[in-house]
Amino acid sequence: MNVFKIPLDSTRKRSYLVFEQVQNTVYERIYTMHSTETTIVVSYLLYLLISVTLTIWVARTLHKRGAIFLVDAFHGNAELAASVNHLLVVGFYLINIGFVTLALKSDAQITSSRAAIELLSDKLGFVLLALGGMHFFNLFVFSRIRAHGQHNVGLRRPPVAPDAVLKVAVPR
């Protein structure tokens, strides 16, 4: 009996060992999968947080500093200027946040924190460029509106005198 006992036991031990090894690799795989998932989610969240904060900051700057421009362009009509300013900022938010959310998705396999940071900076770089482009476009719109308004004011009087004036009112 004893003769049989040792080999049996040893095979059982071996099978235990094999089983444990398999179990360990599965765990490891699950663990690494889990950590990749976490890394990408954390990068996405960081990306959203930073880019939305940046958008809000740029929009507020535009709103605050653009107001003076617009009041001047609309010849002191502060109400109209505020309304146009608000509409411009709403458009700015919509375009930028739309861009940010569309640019979120990435197919990159994130295996290390280094890759995560690279991906994040890649995406943020695009967002910053888009924000910069939109910002300058907005500045262009502001200056265009202002130039337009001033041009109109500077030349409001007709350059020639009328030859005659009708006594009867012109029908409208």
Partner 1 sequence: MEKLYVLYDPKCDLCERLKDWLLVQRTWLGLCMVPAGSEKAQKMFPELQQIATCNDLVVVSDDGQVYLNNSAWIMALYALEDYRDWACRLAHPMIAPFARQAFEMISKNRLTISRWLGHYEPDEIAGELSRVPLAPCAAPGETVSDYLR
Contacts with partner 1 by CB under 8 A lie at 151-152, 155, 158-172
Question: Which among 56, 54, 82, 55 is positioned nearest to 69, based on CA atoms?
Answer: 82
Between 74 and 92, name the residue whose CB sits nearer to partner 1. 74
Dist. CA 102–CA 110, nearest whole Å: 20
Between 114 and 172, name the residue whose CB sits nearer to partner 1. 172
Between 8 and 169, name the residue whose CB sits nearer to partner 1. 169
Nearest distance, CB of residue 145 and partner 1, angstroms = 14
* Contact (CB, 8 A) for 41 and 119: no
Nearest distance, CB of residue 169 and partner 1, angstroms = 7
Cβ neighbour number for residue 28 with a 10 Å cutoff: 10
CA separation (Å) from 11 to 19, 20, 163?
Answer: 12, 14, 120
Nearest distance, CB of residue 172 and partner 1, angstroms = 7
